Every structure is written in C-alpha cells, then in structure tokens.
Amino acid sequence: MKKLINYEGNEKIMKELKENIAEVAPFFGAGASHTYGYPLWKELLVRLLEVSFLSGDMAEKDKREIETFINKNEYMRVADALEKKSNQQLRKDVCFIMNDFVKKARPISIGRNGSWNEHLHKLPSQTYLTTNYDSVIENILKLNSVKNLKSATPIDFSGQTGLKPPIIYHLHGIYTNPDTIILSSFDYDEFYGIERRNVILRQTFAKRLYELFVKYSFLFIGCSINITEDRIFRLLKKLIINMPQSKHHYALLDENEEKNKNKYTRMCELSRLNIKPIWYSSRNTKHEEAINELFEYLLGDLQITFRGKRNT
C-alpha cells in the first residue's frame, strides 16, 4: 500500500502541517461520517424526497421533476423544491431520517487497528468543526474521555461568546434539534451573508466564522470543496480577498474523485482558497485509513497537555 507521504507533493505539505499542529482545527464533511453508515448529501435528499412524497406533500409529477434535479447533481435545487412542498416539516423530516441512520450506524469504538478515533482528541487546538448533522465527532471524543465538551450550532452563535475548547461547531445544525438545521438556499442566505432577512443573525454567524478562519488552519476531511456552490468556501474566498496574508488551510483529498478534473486547474482553485491538498488514492487506501495515517504522522512524538481530557 502506497504511504500517504509518498504521494507527489504530500511530504512537504504534511511536514508544514505538522510544524503548525498547534493551530490546526479539523473540519469534517459528510465523507468522514459516511464511514460509520451516515448518508452523503445526495442520499439524504433522496430519503427526504421519499418521505415528502409518501406524506402526500407533492404530486407524482413534482416528484419526477425533483428527481431530475438529483440526477443532474443540482442538490440545492432539490432542497429548495422540497422546502416549498414540505409544509414547514422539512427540518423535522431531516431529524427523523437522521435518527433512523443513528439506529443503524456502525458502532464507534477506539483501539481498533487503522482507526483514527483514538487520535482526534490529541490535537492541541481541541477545536472541531463540521457541517454534518450527526454526532459522530462528539461520540468519538466522549469515548476518549474528553471532559467539558461544548457544542455550538448556528442559533447559538449570537447567544454564546468566549467559547473555549474543547468545542465542536455544528455549522449547519444537529439532528437532535430541527430549529438548528441549515438546508435550503433560504437558510444559507440567512446565515452566510446575503443582504436580507435577519441581519443580526447573519452578521453574528459570519463574524464567528471569520474569527475561526483567522485563528486556525483548517484541515478539511471528507469535504468535496465545491468553490462555486459551497457557502463555507465562498466565505473563505471573501476573507482571502480582504486578507491576502491569512492562514493556509489543508484538505485530505481522494485523487480518484478528482479524475474528471484537470489537476492543474484543481490545484489553482484550491490555491485561491489558500488550501493545500494532501492526496491519497481510494483504489488502495480506504478513506478511514488515510485519515488515521495522517493523524499518526501529525501527532507522532507530540507532547501536549489535554485541556478537556483526564490524564492517563
């Protein structure tokens, strides 16, 4: 199996990342939780469509129209169409579906060979971000005896100040509270800076994200990094325009998922976001194994004191 550090360009970037480990905050996308049986974005939308149709929220022709959006990978159009048809039940449906996935998910355990679960809590920043609705990161940290763990959702940002690690930022909400769920373009416009609706909420959410982008180097794991559609990266791009000397960020990316893209063009796109890629190949390394290998390298010989974990 080809080691992560042996992929072209990885060694230099991984060494740089390790040197700056104190400022690294992992940012988890759906790909990280998918390992445990949780849905990717498309799968969740398909399930939401099924629930909406079976609940009588839409006619057969509406369902077929939304299915064409899914087939074209126009996922935000799917979410918006479901929002219009759901009679304000869409976020409750998200939580219902996620609860079903929780019941069927693969159990999280530590000490298993090739698992990154036992490394996550050792990162010095003890700051974690995710756009996932599940509680996989909380469960991993609690299994590692992390104490005083705090969680912040979008609606918490205006009411909580001075939050200190260990902390998990659920940027798009969590399945246990439908009021926190960010799903449609209407939600994204509210929280990510379109000049309308709740100005105070928008300013607070965007300000907190800016603060995190400035303070930490993010390590994106399980994220597709779609610059044109993903609001997180549009916000990051705006920050870089305003602050060209802002921190570099990093992303663990499967080179096979990039096969239909010109690699040079892709590298240029990432560079504009100050993101440096760390490549692996899913043909010979599972995503979970790549995460584990990266964490083992970054944390090797690292002596730290854990703020939220008992001494063992």
136, 108 in Cβ contact below 8 A?
A: yes
pTM (two decimals): 0.90
Planar angle of CA 301, 124, 230, nearest 5 degrees:
120
Task: Grade residue 74 by pLDDT with cuts at 50, 70 and 90.
Answer: very high
Domain boundaries, the chain: 4-37+110-299, 41-104
Q: What is the CATH number of domain 4-37+110-299?
A: 3.40.50.1220
* Identity at 148, one-letter amino acid code: N
DSSP string, 78-133: HHHHHHHHTTT-HHHHHHHHHHHHHHHSPPP-SS-TT-STTTGGGSTT-EEEE--S
Residue 229 has pLDDT above 80, yes or no: no
Q: What is the model's pLDDT at position 164?
A: 84
Q: Which residue has the higher pLDDT, 191 or 42?
A: 42
Q: What is the model's pLDDT at position 27?
A: 97
Task: Grade residue 236 by pLDDT with cuts at 50, 70 and 90.
Answer: confident
The residue-averaged pLDDT of 254-278 equals: 82
With CA atoms as reference, report the closest residue to 78 among 104, 106, 48, 55.
48
The residue-averaged pLDDT of 261-270 equals: 81
Q: What is the pLDDT of residues 20-67, one digit of tens each?
A: 999 999 999 999 999 899 999 999 999 999 999 999 989 999 999 999
Residue 73 has pLDDT above 80, yes or no: yes
